[in-house]
Amino acid sequence: MKSEWIKNRETGIKKLNQDLECDVLIVGAGMSGLLCAYQLQDIFEHIVIIESDEIASGASGRNTGKLTSQHGFNYQEILKIHGEEKTRLYYHENERAIHELKRICEQYDIDCEYSEKDAVIGCKSVYMTKHVADEMKAYDTCDIPYEVIREDEVEGIRYGAKFLKQASFDPYQFCIQLASHLNCEIYERTPMMHIHDHVVKTKDHAIRFKHCILATQVMPFQFKFFYTLTAPKQTFLAALKPADKNSLMILSEDEITKTKNNMKNFMLVGGYDHALSDDSNFKWQSFKRDLVLEYPNYRLLSTWSSQDYQVTDYLPIIDRCDDFIVITGFNKWGNTNAYVASLTVKDILEEKVTERRELFSLKRKSLVFSKNFISENYQVLKSLIESKIHDSKLMIPENHQAISFQLDRHPYGIYRQDDKLYIVDTLCPHLGCTLKFNDHDKCWDCPCHGSRFSLQGDIIKGPSSVGLHHSECLVSELKVDK
């Protein structure tokens, strides 16, 4: 489902209709791709951006709208793995991003509800206070300023920390309006099908480039090793009315509501973060139930899911890889990290040696020599094995429901819409995991690396570069073994 930011909006930007040559090709028109174009437009003459869907239709238009350097409980993990100096650098880069994004809004007169707010992180339960205290110890060690929040100072928070002068905005409007001011060509509904030897091929055309930036979250099929370094994570979000009077941005370590942000016309809440290998449908049903319990007097405007990639050592990857520059792994904090990524890409293309480049380097040892790397890849392997276990009994699903089955030991899925059946091959073309049905978004999801496919088998999101084998029939046409 579309997020409240994107709902009922169309950009009208056309898809690519010819072959091209350019100085810089940016794949992905989310915040990171658009901000890269912003940083490079005075350096390179011809910049092209291609987007498989529409501008900001992915994580950029489906997030919480927070602009903050308070990145959950990540600082204690970053400090453990990378030490004080790099943790402090990460904080300052993201803190700078807040102010620079405000400057861009003023520069182009972007109307995106930019509003200065404080950000609070904490817990409701006494059992989670130690985890909050550990995060504050990391702040103290790295000289990160904050205020302590105690019981009754913020509704629903027993103990926490407040970052002052953070901000929130409408990320979709920011991207749409920024795109209109950029000195570049943008093409929507133009997915990258293949990339080789300085040429990107789309479905019907080819783009030859001097430099290519992959600002897509997911990497092309040939970069298989990226899927040992990152893992897809999903969260559910909802827009409720009326907006709460509390102007704070709140992140709690407890369910039911984990994240909360108040905009002008609605309140955004979210929770139930989980790996795609988990039971997403169970998580979704729990989220719906808890929304009713926690907000009985609010009107539900919309619900949606958001997906991002978690890197095993908690820092994004922004680096040159062969002939490309890759940007991935924002760990659910892409609004400020997108600006940091754009500066890092500029460093790379100008061949500047900076601490920022070193911080996000693909060559850092912590990417592979960590417990998280081992455990994440164990989970992927576990998901791959478990995904091969199927119920071989063939049945016709209930209306608006899906089932999985085996035919000659090969996995398939059926979705029923009234009297019509959509049948797809549920073996992911990427690396062979068996897809799971996502009842909330009505699509087929890969539990291993995050590819998503429509009911008809079309690609919604990579890393898969091809769709699923599929067919359609009426219920009356399907023969079922008795």
Lookup: tokens for 181: 């001011």
Residue 100's pLDDT is what?
A: 98
Lookup: tokens for 120: 């609070």
Residue 338's pLDDT is what?
A: 97
- CATH number for region 402-477: 2.102.10.10
Radius of gyration of the chain (CA): 22
Q: What are phi and psi of 159, to 5 degrees?
A: -155, 135
d(CA 238, CA 257): 10
pLDDT at 307 exceeding the cut of 60: yes
pLDDT at 363 exceeding the cut of 60: yes
pLDDT average, residue stretch 124-130: 86
pLDDT at 461 exceeding the cut of 80: no
DSSP 88-147: HHHHHHHHHHHHHHHHHHHHTT--S--EEEEEEEEESSGGGHHHHHHHHHHHHHTT---E
pLDDT at 473 exceeding the cut of 90: no
Residue 390's pLDDT is what?
A: 46
pLDDT at 21 exceeding the cut of 70: yes
pLDDT tens string 425-451: 888 877 778 888 888 788 888 887 778
pLDDT tens string 250-299: 998 776 568 888 888 899 999 888 877 677 788 888 888 888 888 888 99
Mean pLDDT over the full length of the chain:
86
pLDDT at 392 exceeding the cut of 70: no
pLDDT tens string 82-91: 999 999 999 9
> Regarding predicted confidence, which is higher, 152 or 44?
44
pLDDT band at 161 (very low <50, low <70, confident <90, very high): very high
Q: Residue 188 to residues 54, 111, 306, 455: CA-CA distances in angstroms? A: 5, 22, 20, 22
pLDDT tens string 134-143: 999 999 999 9
Contact 218, 80 (CB under 8 A): no
pLDDT at 149 exceeding the cut of 70: yes
pLDDT average, residue stretch 340-358: 96
pLDDT tens string 314-328: 999 999 987 889 998
pLDDT at 209 exceeding the cut of 90: yes
pLDDT at 408 exceeding the cut of 50: yes
d(CA 67, CA 249): 10
Residue 451's pLDDT is what?
A: 84
Name which of 71-80, 92-101, 282-291, 401-410 the model is least confident about: 401-410
Residue 8's pLDDT is what?
A: 72
d(CA 38, CA 342): 8
Percent of the chain predicted with pLDDT > 90? 48
Residue 374's pLDDT is what?
A: 47
Q: Domain limits of the chain?
A: 402-477
DSSP 8-class letter at 160: E
pLDDT tens string 34-78: 999 999 999 999 999 999 989 999 889 999 999 999 999 999 999
